[in-house]
Structure 1
Amino acid sequence: MLNVLDHLPAGLLDVPPAELHRVLPGPTLIHLPGRRSQPLFASVLLHGNEDTGWEALRVFLREHGARELPRAFSVFIGNVAAAGRRRRFLEGQPDYNRIWTDVPGTEHLPERAMTREVLDRMRALDVFASVDIHNNTGLNPHYACVRRLDPRFLQLATLFSRTVVYYRKPDGVQAEAFSDWCPAVTAECGQPGQPHGVEHAADFLRACLNLAEIPSHPVAGHDIDLYHTVAIVKVPDEASVGLEPDADIRLTADLDHLNFRELPANTVLARLRPGSGARLRVYDENGRDVADRYLRVVDDEIRTAVPVMPSMFTLNVTAIRQDCLGYLMERPGTPAALVGAAEAATE
């Protein structure tokens, strides 16, 4: 299933994301040489409708031309079939960013065998660091995500943005797998189709490739805004959702404008159709239902029960069904405080 190359095919950088399926037989790993032998690994198009990563690669590699790269560079171009349809993933496919570890139900999928092969190949090359480039559907700032509070991870993350999110769920993501043996960062580049996102991602790749090493000392507190994702918000399959007046869960029209804003308790997120019995489901990092901790229903309105900060809240019903409504975050007092909390949680 995996196509492996040691060069850029002629004309590949001229191909837009929606046409890649015409020139690549499927998911493709491309190894490019550089002065430093430890490769930077970058994945793009794990979600076929998130094209900023591929566009950034096109910009960066075109600009670099035939000159030797400062570091070896391994590029994984993911779900080209879904990119051809501008979909996150196609019917019958798994989510390509949920198959990098053995999540129950994915162990025997051919796509999981493919990611195992990618991981084995990169481990054999002693990968330097991993970058996974994404877009999102809501209105969010550009931010970086890490699975570990290792100073090297945070140093790499702040090369992209001073806004950094530490998270432990969902499982099976690319950054989770690579975090076992190199610094790994997910770069969230806003919505697709925005030139600023492409430029920002290209600058990040350029900065990563030019690193001789990743600093291991802590990031200064004034150089990072650190958040901790504490819960994921989902819509039950049986409940209708959207902006329509007759939806079981009618979302507020400005829901996606609430991302990365400190919301006070009693903020209205949605209105319930009377008699529907619908509710939002909220799960913490251990998969426990914690809806009552964060939400309450008053006069058929779903409101925040405590102050929270959302991320990735979206009005896109397809995204809600395929993934989630969004996430809830808390801001630690200091990065050190969050490190201590994370260590205590694993004891």
Structure 2
Amino acid sequence: MKTLSLNQLDYLPDGLLEATPESLHRILPEPTLIHLAGRHAEPLFVSILLHGNESTGLFALQLLLKKYQSQPLPRSLSIFFGNISAASKNLRRLDNQPDYNRIWPGTELPDCAETEMAREIVSIMKKRHVFASVDVHNNTGLNPHYACVNRLDNPFLQLASLFGRLVVYFIRPKGVQTAAFAEICPAVTLECGRPGQHYGVEHVLEYLNSCLHLVELSHHQVQPQDIDLFHTIAQVKVHEKINFSFNRADVDLLLNEDLERMNFTEIPAGTVWGTSRFNSLIPVIAQDEHGNDVTEKCFSIENGDLLINRNHTMPSMLTLDERVIRQDCLCYLMERIHL
């Protein structure tokens, strides 16, 4: 098994606060964990660039750290700079790499250098008595800002609702950072819209600054009127043997070009997602949170149309980026749950 060294620092290298995702590798040539001391010793852990083309976390942290250049941090802060090599190419991951948000303890991936590194990070942060964990991401499709949790315990929901009222609970896919850290502290994933949007950077900056000022996370229940809570019931992928497109007719599956506009909208059964050359084979695969195939419960083919079968289903993370769909998935399907 190849090795992947984890670089650890207790200071900010010169130029870090001005670096772009594409130039960051000149300052941090490998995945790096930086520990910065603050008034409260138990650190806030923040991971960024687990996907190299998701830049909001980097830009928000740069602004946050500039804010505290001449004053102490309210709380210690540990920052993991993840897939720096993919960031240099503005890609989610390189072709020879695993997804950096599938490598964490609990993963279904075989052991590799990246999974060993992730285990080491969790072990380091456990010994440091981590206060809370925040993993910052972007979407490629049209999505609102929302937070994700892997547990419905009150401190997790309090941490999530601090970002906004839209919260998604999921337990699959396996190997995500949030699920690994949920074993040792309240943990949340932030989905901050598309990269390059100033509002996303400002929203994360404000959120992280608020987290640094928290003395503790409340165990009181979030009020039902203050949260819109959804449960991910299935992950949807395009069948690996099916070629697809949003704009070419010479493919097995022609998906609707306005598909991403369905994100976070409850859609009725019978909604058309695209057209297929096959009248019997459903060209997508849906798996529930336990890994069971639920394709036929969610989709059907009628006269060449790919239809959603379920009423009151809400998709998320639908994107028109065909590379991301191949590397990850087409979308997730959710349903509303009540506290």
Residues 279 and 303 of structure 2 are in contact (CA less than 8 Å); yes or no, is this contact kept in structure 1? Answer: no
User: What code does the residue aligned with 2:322 have?
Assistant: V
Matched, 1:300 2:333: no
Matched, 1:233 2:236: yes
Distance between the aligned counterparts of 2:82 and 2:174, measured in 1? 18
Name the SS for the 1:160 alignment partner.
coil
Distance between the aligned counterparts of 1:112 and 1:286, measured in 2? 22
User: What code does the residue aligned with 1:53 have?
Assistant: G
CA apart distance, 1:241: 1.2
User: What code does the residue aligned with 2:315 have?
Assistant: P
User: What code does the residue aligned with 2:191 have?
Assistant: E
Distance between the aligned counterparts of 2:162 and 2:35, measured in 1? 23
Equivalent position of 2:326 in the other structure: 321
Q: Which structure 2 segments of 5+ residues have no match? A: none
Report which stretch shifted further, 246-255 or 270-279.
Answer: 270-279
1:86 paired residue among 85, 90, 96: 90
Number of matched residues? 333
CA apart distance, 1:104: 3.5
Matched, 1:35 2:39: yes
Matched, 1:311 2:316: yes
Aligned-residue sequence identity (percent) comes to: 51
**Stretches of 4+ moved more than 6 A in 1?**
none
CA apart distance, 1:64: 2.2
Deviations for 1:113-143, whole angstroms, at most 9, x for unmatched residues? 1111111110000000000000011110000
Superposition TM-score, scaled by structure 2 size? 0.96
Name the SS for the 1:215 alignment partner.
coil
Superposition TM-score, scaled by structure 1 size? 0.94
Distance between the aligned counterparts of 1:276 and 1:318, measured in 2? 26
Distance between the aligned counterparts of 2:150 and 2:182, measured in 1? 7
2:286 paired residue among 282, 285, 290: 282
2:131 paired residue among 125, 128, 132: 128
Distance between the aligned counterparts of 1:238 and 1:41, measured in 2? 40
Question: Counterparts in 2 of 1:1-347, with a 5 A limit?
Answer: 1-107=5-111, 109-243=112-246, 244-274=248-278, 277=281, 279-307=283-311, 308-332=313-337, 334-335=338-339
CA apart distance, 1:105: 3.5
Residues 239 and 278 of structure 1 are in contact (CA less than 8 Å); yes or no, is this contact kept in structure 2? Answer: no
User: What code does the residue aligned with 1:131 have?
Assistant: V
Residues 233 and 282 of structure 1 are in contact (CA less than 8 Å); yes or no, is this contact kept in structure 2? Answer: yes
Deviations for 1:296-325, whole angstroms, at most 9, x for unmatched residues? 111101111121110001111101100000
Name the SS for the 2:162 alignment partner.
helix
CA apart distance, 1:274: 4.7
CA apart distance, 1:278: 5.2
Root mean square deviation of aligned Cα? 1.1
Residues 34 and 68 of structure 1 are in contact (CA less than 8 Å); yes or no, is this contact kept in structure 2? Answer: yes
CA apart distance, 1:145: 0.1
